[in-house]
Amino acid sequence: MGNARISSLGEYVNLVSGLENDLWFRGVASIDFKLTPQVQWMNLDAETEGNIAYRFLRDYGKYVENDETNPWKVYALMQHHGLPTRLLDWSRSPLVALYFALTQKTDLKNNPRKGVWVLDPHLMNEFYTGSDLVYCPSQMGLRRVYNLNKVENPPYKTNGKGKLWESQIPKQHIENKVPFKPLDEYLPYPLYILDPNNTLKTTEWNSPLAIEASSNAGRMDSQHSAFTIHDEMSPPLEVLFKEHKGILRFIEIVPNKTQDMLEHLRRAGIHQESIFRDLDSLCKRIKDELFLTK
């Protein structure tokens, strides 16, 4: 499937039902919004990133039952509650992504092109690492991405390539003659040193990567959250994969169909309460049902 256009929930469901499994979706209020994380489009430097992470670590324990020691779960919480990070939100649910596309506000005029980006995270990672594995850093012991092309009889399928390995790998990042890159080196420094095995960063990532998320936050579960994580220099995903149609595609929503599609989503059980799971969302759903549908 290349880029497509839909005017109803039924068309959308039929379209995504015919796609491959394990795709990720991101709803946007305009196709002109770049697929780049907040840290990048705000042009934040490493010192500011670290300051944000430090202040969150210092104070967030007042609002959670147990302080989290896993740096990737903390980073996901920061993203989930609106702080700038290198994470870009995706959903494994096409309906959740459609809801966000329909409800996001924009200052753009003249009917901005709303829609849903569709990402194949396995093809994306294969493009960079030579293997289609999608990692879940918060559930890994040694958070490393190995060059499986260098492994004799690798346990996972590889394609013999991988742009990630074109850069220099420090000697300390070679194990049994197999190069690897530590996932933790994506993190701002205060989160990086949450792991006592980490001291000083010694290498940089030169590519984005698709990663899974694990969190105790119920909202992340209801939104079927997943992420791409981005290095400092990589262009937006739509630029990186402009010539790779199988990795990234766009489904455009025909203008003036927003309210009809939102109502059909609500009847299908996809609404603010089901996605955000809080009392404010419950009350909004009740008001919508009693007043907006009459």
- State yes or no: pLDDT of 37 exceeds 50: yes
Q: 52: phi > 0 → left, psi -120 to 50 → alpha, else beta; which?
A: alpha
Per-residue confidence (pLDDT) for residue 96, from 0 to 100: 93
Give 242-287 as a DSSP string: TT-TTTEEEEEEPTT-HHHHHHHHHHTT-SHHHHH-SHHHHHHHHH
Residue 166 lies in a domain: yes
66-92 average pLDDT score? 92
Higher-confidence residue of 275 and 238: namely: 238
Per-residue confidence (pLDDT) for residue 294, from 0 to 100: 47
Q: Lowest-confidence range among 71-75, 159-163, 241-245?
A: 241-245
Give 100-123 as a DSSP string: HHHH------S----EEEEE-HHH
Residue 105 lies in a domain: yes
Instruction: Identify the CA nearest to 57 among candidates 82, 75, 38.
Output: 75
Residue 287 lies in a domain: no
Residue 280 lies in a domain: no
* pLDDT band with cut points at 50, 70 and 90 for residue 284: confident
Residue 31 lies in a domain: yes
Under a CB-based contact definition with an 8 Å cutoff, are residues 102 and 27 in contact? yes
Per-residue confidence (pLDDT) for residue 224, from 0 to 100: 84
DSSP 290: I
* pLDDT band with cut points at 50, 70 and 90 for residue 218: low
First to last CA, the chain: 38
- State yes or no: pLDDT of 84 exceeds 80: yes
Per-residue confidence (pLDDT) for residue 33, from 0 to 100: 92
Per-residue confidence (pLDDT) for residue 219, from 0 to 100: 62
Q: 162: phi > 0 → left, psi -120 to 50 → alpha, else beta; which?
A: left
217-231 average pLDDT score? 80
The rounded percent of the chain whose pLDDT value lies above 70 is 94
CA–CA separation, 145 and 207 (whole Å): 12
Q: Lowest-confidence range among 54-58, 127-131, 271-275?
A: 271-275
Q: Give residues with Cβ within 8 angstroms of 285, minimum separation 6.
A: 266, 271, 272, 273
- 231: helix, strand or coil: coil
The rounded percent of the chain whose pLDDT value lies above 90 is 61
Helix axes 258-267, 9-17, angle to 10 degrees: 70
Residue 207 lies in a domain: yes
- Which structural domain, as residue segments, surrounds residue 105? 4-257
Residue 279 lies in a domain: no
Phi, psi of 15 (to 5 degrees): -70, -50
Residue 278 lies in a domain: no
Per-residue confidence (pLDDT) for residue 52, from 0 to 100: 97
- State yes or no: pLDDT of 277 exceeds 50: yes
Per-residue confidence (pLDDT) for residue 2, from 0 to 100: 64
Question: Across-strand partners of 119?
Answer: 24, 248
187-201 average pLDDT score? 93
pLDDT mean across residues, the chain: 89
- State yes or no: pLDDT of 227 exceeds 60: yes
* pLDDT band with cut points at 50, 70 and 90 for residue 105: confident
Hey, what are 188's tokens? 């701002």
- CB count within 10 Å of CB 259 equals 10
- State yes or no: pLDDT of 102 exceeds 50: yes
DSSP 289: I
Per-residue confidence (pLDDT) for residue 280, from 0 to 100: 76
Under a CB-based contact definition with an 8 Å cutoff, are residues 170 and 202 in contact? yes
Higher-confidence residue of 134 and 201: namely: 134
Question: Across-strand partners of 249?
Answer: 118
- CB count within 10 Å of CB 64 equals 11
* pLDDT band with cut points at 50, 70 and 90 for residue 186: very high
The number of distinct structural domains making up the chain is: 1
User: Could you tell me the strand order of the sheet in which 209-212 lies?
Assistant: 4-6, 248-253, 115-119, 24-28, 87-91, 225-229, 209-212
Q: Give residues with Cβ within 8 angstroms of 200, minimum separation 6.
A: none
33-58 average pLDDT score? 95
Higher-confidence residue of 290 and 8: namely: 8
- State yes or no: pLDDT of 222 exceeds 80: no
